[in-house]
Amino acid sequence: MAHDGHVEEFRQVGGARIQLLRGGEGPPLVFLHGAAGAGMWLPFLAGLARRFTVYAPSHPGFGRSEDPEWLDAIDDLVHFYLDFLDDLGHPQVHLVGLSLGGWIAAELAAVCSHRIGRLVLVDAAGIRVDGVTVPDLFIMPPDEAARTIFAEPASAAAISPPNPTAEQLEILLRQRSSMARLAWNPYLHNPKLPRRLHRIRVPTLVVWGQDDRLFPLEHARAFQQAIPGAALAVLPGCGHVPPLDRPDEFVEAVTGFLAER
């Protein structure tokens, strides 16, 4: 099904039927979404699609993708995306991951760098930094969680409509349940990941919102220091979700990096 310059399709991959949004032309780019925003062709994806063929799958258990019974840890998604890359058929793709998707992307790049051209981690989950407290989203009221995640109310409204339909409510509840299974204990990180990041052997850009209240800038610097040769781009005026807070600046930073030779 076609919508506004992109196509929505469903594929059977790795034992799950998944929703996939695809649009644009150029080198292949896979975008891995965060805990929210699955199944939405947002303005920053349209911006990336001006230079790349963008593939934006909804993780199993998110968006309109199937919620398989085998999904209970991040490594399940990592292995799922190994199958997904095989299904796409490209020898290499650029990989961009936001928050939860950044965590998956980092784990994936540590085990299969040869499938990735360039890597972009955006306010990624997945690691802990000594002395830095990460607020617990699972016990927060929704309004406090929104203030923690988003720098601008309009950014929250873009992926959380004020009057959701019954289908949207069902998706939100399912995503929250999936997120709890994947990231509640240990909370939003894999204790083993930091010692694996040195295995990422592709050009890497760490993009971070200067005012991220969920994962402060110390997390960005930890990723940069752990990944050989990684660069860091800090976007002012952004919270935890720079692609929504400042889509034009985000697209410029990412496309500039991906176009480097």
pLDDT tens across 225-253, in order?
999 999 999 999 999 999 999 999 999 99
pLDDT, tens digit, 9 for 90 and up, residues 160-201: 877 888 888 899 889 999 999 999 999 999 999 999 999 999
Contact (CB, 8 A) for 32 and 122: no
pLDDT at residue 155, as a whole number? 86
pLDDT at residue 154, as a whole number? 84
Give residue limits of the domains in the chain: 2-258
pLDDT at residue 200, as a whole number? 98
Q: Which of 29, 26, 24 is nearest to 4 (CA)?
A: 24
**Total-model pTM:** 0.96
pLDDT, tens digit, 9 for 90 and up, residues 14-55: 999 999 999 999 999 999 999 988 999 999 999 999 999 999
Q: Rounded distance, CA 223 to CA 51, Å?
A: 27
Helices (H), the chain: 43-48, 74-88, 100-111, 142-149, 153-159, 166-183, 217-226, 242-245, 247-258
Q: What percent of the chain lies above the pLDDT cut of 70?
A: 98
User: Looking at residue 217, what DSSP letter applies?
Assistant: H
pLDDT at residue 152, as a whole number? 82
pLDDT at residue 160, as a whole number? 80
Q: Rounded distance, CA 17 to CA 197, Å?
A: 30
**Does pLDDT of 157 surpass 90?**
no
pLDDT at residue 162, as a whole number? 75
The domain at 2-258 falls in which architecture? 3-Layer(aba) Sandwich (3.40)
What are the structure tokens assigned to 16, written together?
A: 């799950």
Q: Rounded distance, CA 223 to CA 208, Å?
A: 11
Contact (CB, 8 A) for 246 and 156: no
pLDDT at residue 254, as a whole number? 98
pLDDT at residue 240, as a whole number? 97
In the sheet that 16-23 helps form, which strands lie side by side, from edge to edge? 2-3, 6-13, 16-23, 53-57, 28-32, 93-98, 116-122, 204-209, 231-235
Q: Rounded distance, CA 41 to CA 138, Å?
A: 26
Q: Which of 98, 108, 80, 3 is nearest to 49 (CA)?
A: 3
pLDDT, tens digit, 9 for 90 and up, residues 60-104: 999 999 999 999 999 999 999 999 999 999 999 999 999 999 999
| Confidence class for position 135, pLDDT limits 50, 70, 90 | very high
pLDDT at residue 3, as a whole number? 63
